Amino acid sequence: MKNRLTARTLKAKRNGEKLFCGYITLGYPNLSFTRNMILRMEEIGVDIVELGIPFSDPLADGPVIQAASEAALKKGVSPADAFRLCRDLRRDGLRLPVIFFSYYNPIMSFGASRFVREMKKAGFDGLIVPDLPPDEDIEFRKLISREGLAMVFLASPTTKDKRLIFISNASKGFIYYVSLKGVTGIRKNLSGDLGDQIRRIREVSDLPVLIGFGVSDPRQAHKASRCADGVIVGSAIIDAIRRSGGDIRKVSRLVERLVISTKSAGLSRGVKDRR
């Protein structure tokens, strides 16, 4: 079966479309909400779901996602719940690409080979491990590749040109551009050199580049998508879940606005974005 993530990003690139990836924390505020929110995201027009696995010692997550992870961990949420959830969603007809976001420790605790097999069986399409550089644990990368899954790697403002080439060659689906130094979180403004940084990546890679870390509202999503191939939004969605008390209608309204703003960046630039 064709990988849903790589198929979706390839289609977007071919058609000059912008991509919206929405992040949610597994089990926050509960597993039922996670399931229903993913289904709602597909209806709204989200292109990719990034499903974050709660972890007690996150490296890249800011306070909003940390708090969501802590709440989910207190309820005993684990990777096994993610596999079960995705498997059920696929049985119910979900076609949306779903990426597993996890730190390396839970993967090793679960067992790397078993973890990859379960990902494949459950219907995941890709994996992001923010504390696993592309030149570490090559055998794990081979496992991912053999199962037809995509591994997405991160680039940042401090990534050197030679390193960008290495990241581009290792990544599948897209490159995750970390737009600022520090952890995830809601920001008032985006970095002023986004355009230059995205151009620098495009000089060495044909993969779509999605901007994450700090994209916090529809205006920023539109602005970021004008210079990149789309955005990843996490903290703003998690904060909306918290503020709404898990009201899926209120969260959906924000996500829908983010999707529209992201997509309109492609329409406003037309064929200029097609490469």
Residues annotated as part of the active site: 50, 61
| Cα–Cα dist 263/46, whole Å | 10
Angle at Cα 245 formed by Cα 241 and Cα 247, nearest 5°? 70
Which of 170, 89, 72, 171 minimizes the C-alpha distance to 124? 89
Residues 6+ apart with CB under 8 A from 153: 128, 133, 134, 167, 170, 171, 175, 176
87 touches 37 (CB < 8 A): no
Helix/strand/coil for 50: strand
CA 194 to centroid of chain Cα atoms: 19
Which amino acid makes up residue 109? S
What's the rounded Cα separation, in Å, for the pair 240 and 257? 13
Residues 6+ positions from 193 with CB-CB distance below 8 Å: 157
Q: Find where tokens 């037809």 sit.
A: 148
Q: Hey, what are 16's tokens?
A: 């000059």
DSSP-derived secondary structure letter, 147: T
